[in-house]
Amino acid sequence: MTVEGTAERKTARGGSKRTTAKKATPTKKAPQSQAGNGGRPDEAEQDQLVQLLTPEGKRVEHPDYAIDLSPEELRGLYRDMVLTRCFDAEATTLQRQGELGLWASLLGQEAAQIGSGRALRDDDYVFPTYREHGVAWCRGVDPTNLLGMFRGVNHGGWDPNSNNFHLYTIVIGSQTLHATGYAMGVQKDGADSAVIAYFGDGASSQGDVAESFTFSAVYNAPVVFFCQNNQWAISEPTEKQTRVPLYQRARGFGFPGVRVDGNDVLACLAVTKAALERARTGQGPMLIEAFTYRMGAHTTSDDPTKYRADEERLAWEAKDPILRLRTYLESEGFVDDAYLAAIDEESEALGKRVRDVVRAMPDPDTMAIFENVYADGHALVDEERAQFAAYQASFADADAIAEGN
Amino acid sequence: MAVFEKITIAKAINASLRASMEADPKVLVMGEDVGKLGGVFRVTDGLQKDFGEERVIDTPLAESGIIGTAIGLALRGYRPVAEIQFDGFVFPAYDQIVTQLAKMHARALGKVKVPVVIRIPYAGGIGAVEHHSESPEALFAHVAGLKIVSPSNSSDAYWMLQQAIAGDDPVIYFEPKRRYHDKSRLDTESIPDPLHKARITRTGSDLTLAAYGPMVKVCENVANVAAEEGKSVEVVDLRSISPIDFDTVQSSVEKTGRLVVVHEAPVFFGSGAEIAARITERCFYHLEAPVLRVGGFHAPYPPSRLEDEYLPGLDRVLDAVDRALAY
């Protein structure tokens, strides 16, 4: 039982299964007055994650989410994940070297992002948070463009409409409403594309996320909510965000929610494809909770050793999304050493390009402060621009006089 | 040519929305109760009947949701005109307005536009309960990326809203709710003033009164009473609070030598402070008296039985005029 609120749902089975599990292990039952497991799946619920590839790299089937990919497509997913991780590691290093002011690593979330990202059609529209580097990769956004914001040369260095990939949104959860409004527009246009909004487990506590659920449900907007539950909102665990599994929230708003193994790229792909198809065919929104893990820090300013145990990270490393796909590909003979070596080479090249581009990234022109504040202009901005330009020019004049002397 | 010798501001806004929706199929009206009810002030009366539920959208009761989805609709190419039912209810949407709507064009280096207009019935004088009578314009004017306007008569109400909708910037359009039923002339074929141009509504030579929205009428009354006392007061209707047409105010003050700024919002950190500072910079050698301000107190908006004391009225403004003239 994974889907909440669909017509096919068999309530009794899902309910009784959980009850039975709790009865069998009474000593583990949390007191009612406490936060319980905060939506973290216990053993019984672990079985309910949609999974098509086990942590051991074994292919399994799911009755609702069949998927049949060619070896080439599977290799493509592997390549995407490896290059995304490589890019991410490169960015982290650049931050350590002082080239970036900050970096928000996606380490551990490659499957959630590549799986969902590769489910999208070109005409779909993405509203990311600030960690969706893998989704950006799938959309064809040049990865070096993602770094401008973190280097401090802009607030987003790409044209959202070139790749149907909106700018990163830093205020938590705001973009879920933009996605919903955009989806309402898609619906008004009579288009058959869909919109996807990314957010995290921490954002699920924000009012904007709840409001976006309400709006999308009442207008039946073609939007998919993709929550990457990486279990940590900086230092706050999921227990501090919710008492029920996050995917179950959708039911109360009147649309289905599903929990997928976020470290299983095939499951993320299959479930997102299905959700997008629902949206496109007028069946309204859907919530996907990709249950995954942030293996690194929240950002490079964060120190996860202060709030979480090493054992937890080590346990999740065993579920590494890239390793499990590689194990599967190798076991099927879909990749050989030459192919893997070629990917490594491509990673090297990407890393070098990222380093070179970032280091050469120019600071913006000073007068950029005044650009694009308003689309149609504003008298005060014009006045301040002119005053500041004159002030700047006064130094040049002084220099010229000094040189003349 | 349609000329209305007497039409209320509420009806003028309704006609303006209608004209905008007829002119551009991308214009949408959205908000709480704007559809069948026609808005709690009936400003959107009849629009849903004529333009359908797809274009006149009754929304859930969620202000952040209204503005957040309006942003998304604008990103898709629509021109949403979102109504916030009352001034004091805008704050749940403040985050979306300030962190998203105001900054998105700049953040995207000009690659996207978010032409969202937010209509807010604002300010007091209608005997309402708490949170229904506030004047938060300075809170928005402080934020770059937003434009703030407030009409004081039917013609401006009609034209300024259409100009706001047709522009590519986010505009907060503050509707002086206590003036909704005031009637004045509207010529729907005339050529309107530019959106951000201040206008002199009474000429005078001794002192300038600057105001906008609901306070323009008070200031005009002050000018009439002052004239009976032999004082010549000029009234400037600013119309726009961001940007402010300082040139028009400056010309007036260079002529009169005195300025009193009047608004309903608290004086402390209010728009009057900005006007006083700028005009002092620009007109230091012309000023015969310090720029004075008349406005609300640094206190929560009072219960409505006290609002006549809180709001600048004829006497408080006249008192400021006398003080300025006494220098």
Rounded Cα distance between A194 and A247, Å, is 20
Report which secondary-structure segment, H or E, holds A233.
strand A232-233
Find all residues with CB under 8 Å of B71, minimum gap 6, and list them. A177, A178, A181, B96, B100, B101, B104, B114, B116
- Contact: A174, B68; criterion CB under 8 Å: yes
Across chain A, mean pLDDT equals: 90
Q: What is the mean pLDDT of residues B172-199?
A: 97
Residues in chain B closer than 8 A to A380 (CB atoms): 242-244
Rounded Cα distance between B75 and A175, Å, is 12
Of B78, B196, B246, the CB nearest to A185: B78
Rounded Cα distance between B295 and B312, Å, is 6
CB of A100 closer than 8 Å to CB of A147: yes
Residues B26-80 pLDDT 10s: 999 999 999 999 999 999 999 999 999 999 999 999 999 999 999 999 999 999 9
- The side-by-side arrangement of strands in the sheet containing B27-31 is B56-58, B27-31, B79-83, B117-122, B171-176, B147-149, B240-242
Q: What is the pLDDT confidence band of residue A33, given thresholds at 50, 70 and 90?
A: very low
pLDDT surpasses 60 at A44: no
- What phi and psi, each to the nearest 5 degrees, are found at residue A59? -80, 130
Residues in chain B closer than 8 A to A174 (CB atoms): 68, 95-96, 99-100
Residues A326-376 pLDDT 10s: 999 999 999 999 999 999 999 999 999 999 999 999 999 999 999 999 999
Cβ-in-10-Å burial (0-12, 13-18, 19+) of A118 comes to: buried
Residues in chain A closer than 8 A to B21 (CB atoms): none
Active site residues of B: 132
Report which secondary-structure segment, H or E, holds A104.
none
pLDDT surpasses 80 at A32: no
- Is B34 strand, coil or helix? coil
Of A157, A184, A186, the CB nearest to B69: A184
pLDDT surpasses 50 at A13: no
Rounded Cα distance between B81 and B87, Å, is 16
pLDDT surpasses 60 at A6: no
Residues in chain B closer than 8 A to A181 (CB atoms): 68-76, 80
Of B69, B103, B109, the CB nearest to A181: B69
- Contact: A181, B73; criterion CB under 8 Å: yes
- What string of DSSP letters covers A215-232? HHHHHT--EEEEEEE-SE
pLDDT surpasses 90 at B1: no
Scanning B21-60 for CB atoms below 8 A from A yields: 54, 59-60
A298 is catalytic: yes
CB of B60 closer than 8 Å to CB of A215: yes
pLDDT surpasses 90 at A403: no
Chain B residue with the nearest C-alpha to that of A374? B145
Please report, rounded to a whole number, the percentage of residues in chain A having pLDDT higher than 70. Answer: 88
For residue B107, give how far its alpha carbon lies from the nearest alpha carbon of chain A (Å). 5
- Contact: B112, A184; criterion CB under 8 Å: no
Say yes or no: A163 contacts chain B, CB-CB below 8 A: no
- Taking each helix axis as running N to C, give the angle between helix B63-75 and helix A207-219, from 0 to 180 degrees, rounded to the nearest 10: 70
Measured from the Cβ of residue A309, the count of other Cβ atoms closer than 10 Å reads 10
CB of A204 closer than 8 Å to CB of A259: no
pLDDT surpasses 50 at A34: no
Q: What is the pLDDT of residue A396?
A: 83
Residue A130 β-bridge partners:
none
Q: What is the mean pLDDT of residues A4-20?
A: 36
Say yes or no: A379 contacts chain B, CB-CB below 8 A: yes
For residue B300, give how far its alpha carbon lies from the nearest alpha carbon of chain A (Å). 26
Residues in chain A closer than 8 A to B110 (CB atoms): 371-372, 375
Say yes or no: B230 contacts chain A, CB-CB below 8 A: no
Residue A169 tokens read as 């949104």
- Chain A interface disruption, residue of B26, B27, B69, B246, most A CBs within 10 A: B69
- Contact: A177, B196; criterion CB under 8 Å: no
Of B72, B77, B243, the CB nearest to A180: B72
Stated pTM of the model: 0.93
Residues in chain A closer than 8 A to B74 (CB atoms): 181
Cβ-in-10-Å burial (0-12, 13-18, 19+) of B197 comes to: middle
Residue A401 tokens read as 């006089």
Q: Is 0.90 exceeded by the ipTM? A: yes
Residues in chain A closer than 8 A to B275 (CB atoms): none
- Contact: A182, B100; criterion CB under 8 Å: no
Residues in chain B closer than 8 A to A374 (CB atoms): 105, 145, 147, 169
Q: What is the pLDDT of residue A110?
A: 98
- Contact: B62, A215; criterion CB under 8 Å: yes
CB of B1 closer than 8 Å to CB of B53: no
Rounded Cα distance between B327 and B317, Å, is 16
Q: Which amino acid is at A41?
A: P
Q: What is the pLDDT confidence band of residue A401, given thresholds at 50, 70 and 90?
A: confident
Residue B64 tokens read as 């952040």
Q: What is the pLDDT of residue A31?
A: 39
- Contact: B60, A379; criterion CB under 8 Å: no
Handedness of CA A243, A244, A247, A253 (dihedral sign): negative
A247 is catalytic: no
- Is B295 strand, coil or helix? strand
**Where do we find the tokens 């064009």?**
B105
- Contact: A379, B76; criterion CB under 8 Å: no
**C-alpha distance from residue B227 to each of A41, B203, B289 (Å):** 78, 11, 20
Q: Which of A85, A249, A259, A298 is catalytic?
A: A298
For residue B20, give how far its alpha carbon lies from the nearest alpha carbon of chain A (Å). 18
Rg (CA), chain B: 19
Q: What is the pLDDT of residue A45?
A: 62
- Contact: A180, B64; criterion CB under 8 Å: no
Q: What is the pLDDT of residue A9?
A: 36
Measured from the Cβ of residue A310, the count of other Cβ atoms closer than 10 Å reads 9
Nearest Cα neighbor of B164 from B179, B149, B186 is B149
For residue A88, give how far its alpha carbon lies from the nearest alpha carbon of chain B (Å). 23
- What phi and psi, each to the nearest 5 degrees, are found at residue B200? -85, 120
Nearest Cα neighbor of A214 from B61, B91, B55 is B61
Q: What is the pLDDT of residue A399?
A: 81
Q: What is the mean pLDDT of residues A35-45?
A: 61
